Amino acid sequence: MAAAVYLLNGPNLNLLGAREPEIYGATALADIEAAAQKTAKELGFALEFRQSNHEGVLVDWVQEADAKAEGLIINPGGYTHTSVALLDALSAASLPKIELHLSNIHAREAFRQRSLTAAAADGIIMGLGAPGYRLALKALKSLMETRAA
What distance in Å separates the CA atoms of residue 39 and residue 123, rounded to the nearest whole number? 19
Does residue 6 form part of some domain? Answer: no
3-state SS assignment for residue 103: coil
Asked if residue 146 is part of any domain, the answer here is yes
Mind telling me the catalytic residues?
Answer: 24, 101
Tell me, yes or no, whether 45 lies in a domain. no
Contact 66, 94 (CB under 8 A): yes
Query: Would residue 25 count as lying in a domain?
Result: no
Whether residue 127 is contained in a domain is answered as no
Answer yes or no: is 39 within a domain. Answer: no
Residue 21, pLDDT > 90, answer no
> Domains in the chain: how many in total?
1
Residue 101: inside a domain, yes or no?
A: yes
In this prediction, residue 37 has a pLDDT band, given cuts at 50, 70 and 90, of: very high
Give mean pLDDT, residues 53-69.
Answer: 98
**Proportion of the chain above pLDDT 70, given as a percent:** 97
- Does residue 122 sit within a domain? no
Residue 112: other Cβ atoms inside 10 A: 16
Note if the pTM is more than 0.85.
yes
- Is 111 buried (19+), middle (13-18) or exposed (0-12) by CB count in 10 A? exposed
| 124 closest CA partner among 100, 148, 92, 88 | 100
Residue 109 is part of which domain span?
96-114+139-149
